[in-house]
Structure 1
Amino acid sequence: MTHTTLTPSATVPVRGGVLRRWPRWAPWAATLWALGYGLTALGWTLTGAGYPMGPADPEGDMSLLGSVPADVGAPLFAAVALAAAGTGAVMARYRPGVAVPRWWRRFAVGFGGSLAVALLVVVPDTRILAVVGYLPMILLKAPFDAEIRAQVGDALGVEHLHQVVALAGGFLWAAATVVYARRTAGSCVRCGRPDRSAAVATVLRWARPAVYVAAAIPALYAVTRWIWVAGIPLGIDEELHAEGMADGSLWSGAWLASFALVGTVLTLGLVQRWGEVFPRWVPVLRGRRVPVGLAVAPASVVAALVTSGGLGLIKAGIADSTFTSDDWAAVGPALLWPLWGVALAVATLAYWLRRRGTCADCGLSEAA
C-alpha cells in the first residue's frame, strides 16, 4: 500500500514571473474584475442599454440565462458583482496568522466558489465553444478567404466578448478563493500542502476512469458526424441529412469531429507517459518534460466550456422538445457533455496533483 508523506526540500528555489506569482495578485485581480463588472452592470441598470443576455439576445435560447430579462438580470448582476468586490477586498487583505471567524471563512469560500462556478458554467454557452472548435480552421483559411473573414466579423459580437470576460472572471475568482481558503487554513498558497492525503488519494484513484469517460464522449460525437459525412443518416432525420449534405453544413460538423478526436487523444495523455515527457517523434521537444500548465490550462478551459455548452443544449432541447429517438445521434452526445466536462475537470486535477512535485514556496513534496 502506498502512503503519501510530506517532506521538506533542502533548498527551495526562488521562482519569478508574473504567472508563478499568481497567489499574490489573483485575489486583487478578482476584486478589480468584480468592481469593473459591477459598475458595468450598474450602467446597464441605469441606462437600460447594453445588457448582453436575455430575450434580446438572438441566440439566447442556447444560454442558461437566455430567459432572464434586462430589468431583472442587470441589477442582480450589479448587486452580486459589487458585493463580490467588497468580499474580495477583505479576502485579499488577509494576512496569515490573523484569526478569522468561522462563519466568515465559510461565507467567503462558499461565495467565491459559487461565483466562480456561475461565471464558468452558467454565463457561457455554446457560442464560445464553437469559436474554440472552429478557431484552427479560421486561422488557416481566413488569411486567404475574404468571405470567412467577413463571416467571423459578423458572428462575433458583444455577447461573445461578455462570455470571454465572464470566463476570465471565473478563473480569477476560482484562484482567489483557493488562495484565501489555503491562507486561512494555514496551508501553502501555491500547492495547498499539507493537504488531506485521503482527498488527494481519492482524486488520483479516479483519474483513469475520469480520463476514459472524458475521452470517450467526444469520440462518440466525432464518430456520428463522420458517419453522416460518409452518407449514412445514422440517428438523424433523412431529410435533414440530405439538406446538410447538399449545402455542406455537415462538413462543419465533421471539422468539429476532427477537433474532438484531437481532444480525445490529448485527454488520454493525462494518464500516459507521453503526457509527461514529449515522445521521440516530436521535433525539437523530444525527451523534454511537458510543462504542467500546457496540459492543465487548456483542459480546464475545455472542461468549463463543454459543461456550460452541454447544459445550454439540454435547456434548448427541453424547451423546443427536440429530443426524439429519431434524432438520437444529433442530440444524444450533447446530453453527455456535462458529464464530459466534470470528468475532464477531475482528470485534470488528478494530473496536476500527480505532477506538482516539490513546491517552490514551502519545499514540501509527496514521497511514496
Structure 2
Amino acid sequence: MAPVWQAAYVAVHLWWVIGGAPRFFMGRESYFPGGWVPVALGVLALVAYLAAAATARGEADRATHYALAGLNAVAGGALCVYSFLFPVLLVALLFEGPGPGIVASLLATGGGAVGGVLCLRVAVDEWRRAVRSCGSCGRVHGRSPESRAERAPGWAYAGAYVALAGFAARIGVWLADTIAGRWPSGVSRANVSWSAMTVFMVLMTLAGTLLPLALAHRWGRLWPAWVVPLRGRAVPRWLVLGPGLFVGAGLTAYFGIAGNIAWIRGEFGGPALPLSLEMGGYTLWGTGLLVASAAYAALTRPPCRKPVRAHT
C-alpha cells in the first residue's frame, strides 16, 4: 500500500506542476514552496520505502538497517513538515465548517501527512531490525520498559514540564492582552463564534496542562485510585497518545518551524517580549509534547507474548 500511496502522491503533484495546480484554501497547499518541492519529497519517500522493501526478505547487516532507518526518517519527516497545515486545516474544518477549497486542501495535505507517517513507520521497523528488538513486542528486553507500571524516564518528565512551561508562557501573553483590553480585537469580536471559542479555550487548556502531565505520570497510563470504577486498569493508549502526537506535531510544525521562519524573515512583528513568549511558548509546548509522547508510546506497548525465559 505504501509504495502505491507514495507513487500516487508524486503523480498528482507532477500533474499539477505540468498542468497547473488547483486553487487551494488560503491560496496554497503548504507554507513552503510548492511546484517541484512536493514532487522531490515524494520521490525521496518512494525511493526510501522501496529500498527498505528490497532488503526486507534478504539478509542485511546492521549498518544497512541503520542507514535505511535514517533515510526513511528524513523522507517521512520532510513530508510531514511540508504537510504541516493538515492539522491546522482539520481544526478549521471542525470549528468553521467546510469552506471554498478547504476540503481539497485537507486532502492534499493529508496525502503528504499519511505518506510521511508511512515512511516514519518503516524507519521504526528498520531501527528495530538494527537494534535486534523483540519480534513479538518491539522491545529491547533489558533496556526497554516492560509494563505501564514502570516509572517514566527523566527525559519524559522534562518534556512534559517544558510543554507545561511553554503553555504558561503563551497563556500569560493572552491574559495580559485580555486584561489590557487588546483581546479580543474589533475584528475578532465581529467574526468570532463565542461557543466555538469557549470550546477551543477549554481544549487548549487541557492540551497545555492535563495532557503533558498524563503523558509522563503513571496516572496517565493506569487509572488512579480516585477513578473508582476503573482504578488500576489501563488507560486506552490512544486516548492520551493520539492528542499528544497531534497537538505536539501541529504546534512544532506551525509555530516552531513555519512561524519562527516567518518571524525571522520579518513577515510579521510586534513587541519583542510578548512575541518571544508567544512563539517560544508554542514551540516549547509542541516539542515537549512530542518528547513526552515518545516515552508514553514506549511505556504503553502491549505486553510481550513470548515467555520470560525466551527473552534471555
- TM-score, structure 2 normalization: 0.78
Sort the Cα spacing of 1:107 and 1:156 in 2 relative to 1 into closer, same or farther, 3 A: same
1:212 to partner: Cα distance: 0.8
Paired residues for 1:1-368 under 5 Å? 29-50=1-22, 58=26, 63-65=30-32, 68-70=33-35, 72-73=36-37, 77-95=38-56, 98-100=59-61, 102=63, 104-125=64-85, 128-129=87-88, 131-132=90-91, 135=94, 138=95, 149=97, 152-154=98-100, 156-189=102-135, 191-194=137-140, 197=143, 204-226=153-175, 228-229=177-178, 231-233=179-181, 238=182, 242-244=185-187, 246-247=189-190, 249=192, 255-263=199-207, 264-279=209-224, 285=230, 287-310=232-255, 311-325=257-271, 328-329=273-274, 332-356=277-301, 358-360=303-305
The answer as to whether partners of 1:278 and 1:285 remain within 8 angstroms in 2 is yes
Q: What amino acid does structure 1 have at the position aligned with 2:134?
A: C
1:108 to partner: Cα distance: 2.1
Partner-residue secondary structure (3-state), 1:206 = helix
1:204 to partner: Cα distance: 1.5
CA distance in 1: counterparts of 2:89 and 2:304, whole angstroms: 37
CA RMSD of aligned residues (A): 3.8
Sort the Cα spacing of 1:174 and 1:290 in 2 relative to 1 into closer, same or farther, 3 A: same
1:284 to partner: Cα distance: 6.1
- TM-score, structure 1 normalization: 0.68
Q: 1:308-346: per-residue Cα shift (whole Å, max 9, x none)? A: 1112222333334533327x4466322332332222111
Q: What amino acid does structure 2 have at the position aligned with 1:42?
A: L
Size of the alignment, in residue pairs? 304
Q: What amino acid does structure 2 have at the position aligned with 1:293?
A: W
Q: What amino acid does structure 1 have at the position aligned with 2:55?
A: Y
Which structure is higher in RCO with an 8 Å CA cutoff and minimum separation 6? 1
The answer as to whether partners of 2:16 and 2:22 remain within 8 angstroms in 1 is yes
Q: What amino acid does structure 1 have at the position aligned with 2:43?
A: L
The answer as to whether partners of 1:208 and 1:271 remain within 8 angstroms in 2 is yes
1:222 to partner: Cα distance: 3.4
CA distance in 1: counterparts of 2:103 and 2:93, whole angstroms: 16
Task: Note the residue ranges of structure 1 that are not aligned, 5 or more in a row.
Answer: 1-28, 139-147
The answer as to whether partners of 1:303 and 1:340 remain within 8 angstroms in 2 is yes
1:89 to partner: Cα distance: 2.8
1:261 to partner: Cα distance: 0.8
Q: Which of the two has higher C-alpha Rg?
A: 1
Q: Which moved more, 1:348-357 or 1:111-120?
A: 348-357
1:85 to partner: Cα distance: 2.4
Q: What amino acid does structure 1 have at the position aligned with 2:206?
A: V
Sort the Cα spacing of 1:94 and 1:314 in 2 relative to 1 into closer, same or farther, 3 A: same
The answer as to whether partners of 1:277 and 1:287 remain within 8 angstroms in 2 is yes
Sort the Cα spacing of 1:242 and 1:108 in 2 relative to 1 into closer, same or farther, 3 A: closer
Q: 1:61-119: per-residue Cα shift (whole Å, max 9, x none)? A: x9541xx252x43xxx33442343243134135347713484x4444222200112112
CA distance in 2: counterparts of 1:318 and 1:223, whole angstroms: 23
Q: Which moved more, 1:33-42 or 1:331-340?
A: 331-340
Q: What amino acid does structure 2 have at the position aligned with 1:204?
A: P
Q: What amino acid does structure 2 have at the position aligned with 1:99?
A: A
Partner-residue secondary structure (3-state), 1:197 = coil
1:250 to partner: Cα distance: 9.5
The answer as to whether partners of 1:225 and 1:250 remain within 8 angstroms in 2 is no
